[in-house]
């Protein structure tokens, strides 16, 4: 609901004033003093730079002193906020009254099935389900988080990756709220789940439907740093395929939409590199597209016999798109596809069988452009408002003529569309309902520009009620 119309969820000024008054009264009349954490000097040296952190000791969540301190913080907060409990309940119910609790998201197609999640009023968590071929087919429950959470304080799903033969699901769950995910494989034919690994941050199936690559986080700094190869039915420990030695980098694994390759991306905030292996030959060694160079970020996609690489090499801070043969993708073989543009940020490029989709931002405006691979001709997806956000949605199929995208604005609630590449038209599949009598026709948004002292035009987004 990030950009949902402000008027739809607006909290009256008198309500906010009441909340502030109650908080001020509480602090003035004497909630006990807040707990003060002790300081224990600790230094860490990274790349020759010494960092000091007197609160490093608090990283150990199993330390009784850490637990005691957190309990004291919680007790202090509860005491300070106690006079506002009735107001909190009022605000919660007001916000909840705007949300449709029993709902279903838009199904996406993958491997002959339609996948979606649904929620039910009174239940805290979603249920993951699928239907074979059509929505009229029987529903198959894959993961019911309301059942899975029993015996745990929390439940969230991270990874959700179905094998090509649609029989196995690799999924990860966080049952503590600490964002530490445990990886499982579920046989969707029998319903049996098998634990694979702790602290998993990403996973990808190979095309043999039995080899699963997964990334494990470091037990101390939580950085994703090890890639393992697991083979269903194979005894013994999983094989360590790659370990990232630089603490400034984290790794992630994925299978390309084409299902041709497994990519392992190593990235810091300013530098990255990509390794690859054929998804049909998962036991082969990983190969490197281009060795990392300080300040060079690049990310890869696959189509046909070429890799398509989004790169900021050579000071091209807004990125450009190049292609290279999969047989030898080193930088000397790169061929420019989309040139660098100083005023336009090339944020992402996604490839499908007959086209690719460019997501870029220029003049503070996001654009989705669909480009025909054969002709190179591109068409922008048209939107009805001057101020909005737009992004690609769930697009799991490679061979398709539809592009799923998400759209919302200050006035328009979150909406899901399918863009037909052949006709150039968008079809609204679902718009998030806003309960409580919200009427978008009462409001208007616009983009204006303020001129800075140096002459720079600064974009300003406005939303207001038309009658004002």
Q: Read off the pLDDT of residues 265-314 as tens digits, 9 standing for 90 and up.
A: 999 999 999 999 999 999 999 999 999 999 999 999 999 999 999 999 99
Residues 159 and 87 in one domain: no
Residues 272 and 135 in one domain: yes
Domain count, the chain: 2
pLDDT for res 248: 95
pLDDT reading at 11 higher than 70: no
Residues 46 and 121 in one domain: no
Which residues are paired to 461 by β-bridges?
447
Last residue of a domain, one of 79, 96, 113: 96
Give pTM, 2 decimals: 0.85
HSE of 270, CA atoms in CB hemisphere, 13 A: 5
Residues 282 and 255 in one domain: yes
Q: Read off the pLDDT of residues 20-51 as tens digits, 9 standing for 90 and up.
A: 555 555 555 455 789 999 999 999 998 889 99
Do the beta carbons of residue 450 and residue 444 sit within 8 Å?
no
Residues 164 and 48 in one domain: no
Last residue of a domain, one of 67, 96, 125: 96
**Cα–Cα–Cα angle for 249, 254, 258, rounded to 5 degrees:** 140
Residues 290 and 163 in one domain: yes
Residues 155 and 42 in one domain: no
Residue 61: which pLDDT band, with cuts at 50, 70 and 90? confident
Q: Read off the pLDDT of residues 160-212 as tens digits, 9 standing for 90 and up.
A: 999 999 999 999 999 999 999 999 999 999 999 999 999 999 999 999 999 99
Residues 187 and 220 in one domain: yes
Q: Is 47 left (phi over 0), alpha (psi -120 to 50) or beta?
A: left
The residue range of the domain holding 72 is 12-96
Could you give the CA distance from residue 126 to residue 59 in angstroms, rounded to a whole number?
31
pLDDT reading at 447 higher than 90: yes
């Amino acid at each position: 609901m990030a950009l949902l119309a402000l008027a739809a969820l607006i909290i009256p000024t008198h309500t906010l004033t009441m909340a502030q008054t109650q908080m001020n009264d509480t602090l003035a009349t004497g909630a006990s003093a807040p707990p003060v954490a002790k300081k224990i000097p600790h230094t860490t040296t990274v790349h020759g730079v010494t960092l000091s952190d007197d609160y490093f000791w608090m990283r150990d969540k199993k330390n009784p002193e850490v637990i005691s301190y957190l309990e004291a913080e919680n007790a202090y907060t509860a005491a300070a906020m106690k006079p506002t409990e009735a107001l909190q309940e009022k605000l919660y119910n007001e916000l909840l009254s705007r949300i449709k609790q029993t709902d279903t998201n838009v199904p996406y197609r993958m491997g002959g099935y339609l996948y979606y999640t649904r929620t039910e009023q009174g239940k805290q968590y979603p249920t993951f389900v699928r239907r074979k071929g059509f929505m009229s087919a029987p529903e198959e429950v894959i993961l019911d988080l309301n059942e899975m959470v029993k015996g745990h304080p929390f439940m969230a799903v991270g990874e959700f990756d179905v094998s090509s033969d649609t029989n196995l699901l690799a999924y990860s769950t966080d049952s503590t709220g600490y964002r530490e995910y445990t990886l499982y494989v579920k046989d969707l034919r029998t319903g049996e789940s098998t634990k694979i690994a702790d602290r998993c941050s990403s996973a990808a199936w190979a095309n043999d439907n039995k080899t699963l690559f997964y990334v494990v986080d470091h037990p101390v700094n939580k950085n994703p740093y090890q890639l393992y190869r697991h083979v269903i039915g194979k005894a013994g420990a999983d094989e360590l395929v790659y370990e990232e030695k630089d603490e400034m980098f984290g790794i992630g694994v994925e299978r390309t939409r084409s299902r041709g390759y497994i990519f392992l991306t190593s990235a810091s905030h300013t530098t990255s590199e990509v390794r690859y292996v054929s998804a049909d030959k998962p036991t082969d060694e990983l190969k490197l597209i281009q060795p990392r160079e300080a300040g060079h970020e690049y990310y890869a996609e696959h189509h046909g016999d070429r890799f398509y690489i989004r790169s900021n090499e050579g000071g091209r801070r807004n990125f450009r798109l190049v292609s290279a043969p999969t047989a030898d993708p080193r930088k000397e073989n790169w061929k420019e596809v989309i040139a660098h543009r100083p005023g336009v940020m090339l944020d992402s490029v996604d490839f499908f069988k007959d086209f690719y989709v460019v997501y870029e931002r220029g003049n503070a405006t996001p654009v989705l452009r669909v480009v025909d691979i054969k002709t190179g001709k591109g068409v922008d997806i048209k939107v009805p408002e001057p101020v909005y956000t737009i992004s690609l949605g769930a697009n799991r199929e490679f061979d398709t003529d539809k592009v799923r995208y998400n759209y919302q604005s200050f006035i328009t609630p979150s909406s899901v569309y399918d863009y037909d590449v052949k006709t150039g038209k968008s079809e609204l599949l679902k718009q998030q309902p806003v309960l409580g009598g919200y009427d978008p026709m009462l409001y208007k948004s616009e983009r204006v520009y303020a001129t800075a002292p140096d002459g720079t035009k600064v974009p300003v987004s406005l939303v207001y009620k038309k009658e004002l």
